[in-house]
Structure 1
Amino acid sequence: MGQHLPAQLGRRTVPPLALASAAAVLLAACTSGGGADGGDKGGPAIVVQPAAGSGKVPVGRKVTVRARGGSLISVEVGSPGPGRLSGTWSEDKSVWTSTTPLAPGATYTVKANGRTEGGAVLDKTASFTTEAPQNAVVGEYYPDKGMTVGVAMPVSIIFNKPIHDRAAVERKLHVTSSPAVEGAWSWMKDRSGKDRIDYRPERYWQRGTRITLRMDLAGVNTGSGVYGTQERIVNFRIGDAVTSTVDVTTKTMTVRRNGRMLRILKVSSGKRGYETWNGTMVVLGKVPTIRMNSSTVRIFGPEAYDLGAVKWDVRLTTSGTYVHAAPWNAGKFGLVNGSHGCIGMSTGDARWFYGHVDPGDPVTVVHSVETVAANNGYGDWNVAWETWKKGSALNSLN
């Protein structure tokens, strides 16, 4: 009946890795089968800096692999969580230097091969561990890996700490899709007050699109000494185009799948003073039963209600807008708007709708008042495309 304060959105929190301040720590390596390397002194060897045995390595360090008295053939530096480091070679291929920031609290393994000037084989495997988190920021992302979502689902990341250098973070976030389509990031304050960045194309995704989010945030200074933590690749896909349009004037909801009309349902939306949000909302989730109590959305006095267990609940906004069964409004569907902001329908129709929609499906309300905000769930589609692109921290630098 009314709008209700929901449980926390289903974004997956990724286990944090954090970053610490930089300081110089040098560690020596040796050729395989040999003893401890004497650093720059001694015979031909592969020397790794930093290397094992001298404590935790600050994440500001670069990894350097050098073939003393020879040249390198291959270098691989990686960690099970953050993955491999990229690097550059010196002109004579005697030195390899990392270009990817180190992740905090991670153990890296260095595998290097080379040859001496006389042609002898050089071989080295070494490992080191970076300092544990000191001051980290973690992003909760959605959708999660392997999900199938509706055509209106943006990629959304909410950060647990303020992002002071948004451009630095945005440079390390990448979304690709097949088929390819132009898209853009846009920053906002989530309804929770936290910094949030969403990615969407100009129009809904095409059915069957496969999307990859890449987060390369480990080692990124987000400003004020707070560092990013995550190296993640998240793949998900877009399912059928299930779109619903609610007309508060005719008090109907028209549901289509891939352009074909499935049903026109009679509904009752928000009454005067409690009008349902106008514009496009996106299905956030659904539950078969929920208790609806007006106190959760600060409705008291004569308008207060406690409806107990309400069936077939499809959630549209963080503020508590649902599509649900409203048997107490029998006789009003298609005739009277009598709710406190939710979209009510008969129990049979609500159950049918519940079974035909999934997270990411758009529900658009027309002829109502006050358009839903972008940060109230996924109201992103109510922002004009040119305005949306201006929300990118990188566009603001151009």
Structure 2
Amino acid sequence: MRRRLTARTGRRTGRRTALPVAFTSAAAVLLLACGSGGAPDGGSGKGAGDGDKDRSAAVVVRPGDDSARVPVGRKVTVRVRGGSLTSVEVTSPGPGRLAGTWSEDRSVWTATTPLAPGATYTVKARGRASGGSPLERTASFTTEAPRNTFVGEYVPDRGTTVGVAMPVSITFDKPIRNKAAVERKLEVTASPAVDGAWSWIKDRNGKDRVDYRPERFWKPGTEVTLRMNLAGVDAGGGVYGTQQRLVHFRIGDAVTSTLDVTRKTMTVARNGRVLRALKVSSGKKGYETWNGTMVVLSKVPTIRMDSSTVRIFGHEAYDLGSVRWDVQLTPSGTYVHAAPWNEGKFGLTNGSHGCIGLSTDDARWFYGQVSVGDPVTVVGSTDTVAINNGYGDWNVDWASWKEGGALR
């Protein structure tokens, strides 16, 4: 049930049981202005007529506060009775602000931008009654849900602590034709501030993906916030977003590992201080370990490694049922792990099928040092890891990375 409000204080003055016929609507919001009333006998000021005019002044917002979902075909209108409007603002975090036109006497504002589905809009209207009293009203409404929607799967998750090489990455479940519209509603802020940029790629599964990274690795201790204001955003082809997300995460210590395949050693440092130089056996000829920087994707203490999953068959095939201390670097199957079957090769011969093999003790130690988002950089090998094979983002120079943004 609507309540009568004063224009100056918003104090409830009683229930209204009926509205003037011209303004009766289940989805309209009225604001009545209360004037100062007549001047005291013998005094000066407004006459009683002006006070009566102010008391009957009303601002109507359609659609207004209402539990029902508003059809996207509706036009937003704001009108005033017994006065004029001074400003109208209709905004939504996703689609943004609605444009509109004014009537000649500025008593009516009509939106010219169509509503987006699945979005919540806020209407802020200000005006003045003919007697001079101010009018002000805020209302909100939500539109009907879209029939065809897209969502983005994002990493890192909220509340996590990740390594200095972890990008913000969003993979979408539908093709994004209007990448600029989507990117415009994605925001990353950091403390301390960094110069970062979005870049669009195709994920290994063929889906559209957009990653955000600084020019260089994050600084340890950086607090990062991702804002996704995608509700009601048209990605093209009538596919609309639904997500409103606020995601905070933190950057941990700078744990960096560098593998030199010619020296067959991997040097591990924390915040610039070298911890250990580990003897390794990486990919042999024809199965060379990827060159460039890879990023830790996950850690599992035990895993089965079956060569058929990475399309290795014949005399090179293998099926290892219990491989220990596994640190995943790429979805294509690159791991750092214990490889006791290669005992005698560590530091001497590269004999794996692309993984970075360690003794069991060294693998256990390495597993305990690294976290998701830590970089592992390989030098002296052949092909550079693809940008979409995990997070190969850091192998793209900064100028080229920025060129991949839709808003460049």
Shorter-chain TM-score tier: 0.7 to 0.9
Which ranges of structure 1 fall in alignment gaps of 5 or more residues?
1-28
- Determine whether 1:356 maps to 2:356: no
Shift of 1:44: 2.9
Secondary structure in structure 1 of the residue aligned to 2:347: coil
Shift of 1:148: 1.3
Contact 1:178–1:209 (CA<8 Å) still a contact in 2? Answer: yes
2:173 aligned partner: 160
Match of 2:308 among 292, 295, 308: 295
Match of 1:347 among 353, 357, 360: 360
Alpha-carbon distance in structure 2 between the residues aligned to 1:165 and 1:177:
26
TM-score w.r.t. the length of structure 2 is 0.78
Over alpha carbons, which structure has the higher Rg?
Answer: 2
Superposed CA offset, 1:115-156 (max 9, x none): 744477978786644212301111111111122111111111
Alpha-carbon distance in structure 1 between the residues aligned to 2:99 and 2:83:
17
2:338 aligned partner: 325
CA 1:39 to 1:369, structure 2 compared with 1: closer, same or farther past 3 Å? farther
Alpha-carbon distance in structure 2 between the residues aligned to 1:37 and 1:136:
41
CA 1:196 to 1:122, structure 2 compared with 1: closer, same or farther past 3 Å? same
Shift of 1:220: 1.7
Match of 1:286 among 293, 299, 321: 299
2:70 aligned partner: 57
Match of 1:44 among 39, 44, 57: 57
Higher RCO (Cα < 8 Å, 6 or more apart): 1
1:246 aligned partner: 259
CA 1:205 to 1:62, structure 2 compared with 1: closer, same or farther past 3 Å? farther
* Identity among equivalent pairs (%): 72
TM-score w.r.t. the length of structure 1 is 0.80
Alpha-carbon distance in structure 2 between the residues aligned to 1:336 and 1:269:
8
2:272 aligned partner: 259
Contact 2:90–2:98 (CA<8 Å) still a contact in 1? Answer: no
Shift of 1:241: 0.7
Secondary structure in structure 1 of the residue aligned to 2:333: coil
Superposed CA offset, 1:15-59 (max 9, x none): xxxxxxxxxxxxxx8845223464558953331211467963234
Amino acid at match of 2:350: N
CA 1:309 to 1:129, structure 2 compared with 1: closer, same or farther past 3 Å? same
- Determine whether 1:147 maps to 2:147: no
Alpha-carbon distance in structure 2 between the residues aligned to 1:237 and 1:245:
23
Which ranges of structure 2 fall in alignment gaps of 5 or more residues?
6-14, 25-29, 31-55
Amino acid at match of 1:320: G
Q: May I ask how many residue pairs the two structures share in their alignment? A: 365
2:203 aligned partner: 190
CA 1:221 to 1:107, structure 2 compared with 1: closer, same or farther past 3 Å? closer
CA 1:367 to 1:85, structure 2 compared with 1: closer, same or farther past 3 Å? closer
1:375 aligned partner: 388
Shift of 1:235: 1.6
Shift of 1:172: 1.5
Amino acid at match of 1:157: I
CA 1:37 to 1:368, structure 2 compared with 1: closer, same or farther past 3 Å? farther
CA 1:374 to 1:121, structure 2 compared with 1: closer, same or farther past 3 Å? same
Superposed CA offset, 1:47-79 (max 9, x none): 121146796323475655444334789999899
Q: Which aligned pairs between 1:228-239 and structure 2 lie closer than 5 A?
A: 228-239=241-252
Contact 1:88–1:96 (CA<8 Å) still a contact in 2? Answer: no
CA 1:96 to 1:250, structure 2 compared with 1: closer, same or farther past 3 Å? farther
Shift of 1:228: 2.0
Alpha-carbon distance in structure 2 between the residues aligned to 1:135 and 1:187:
22
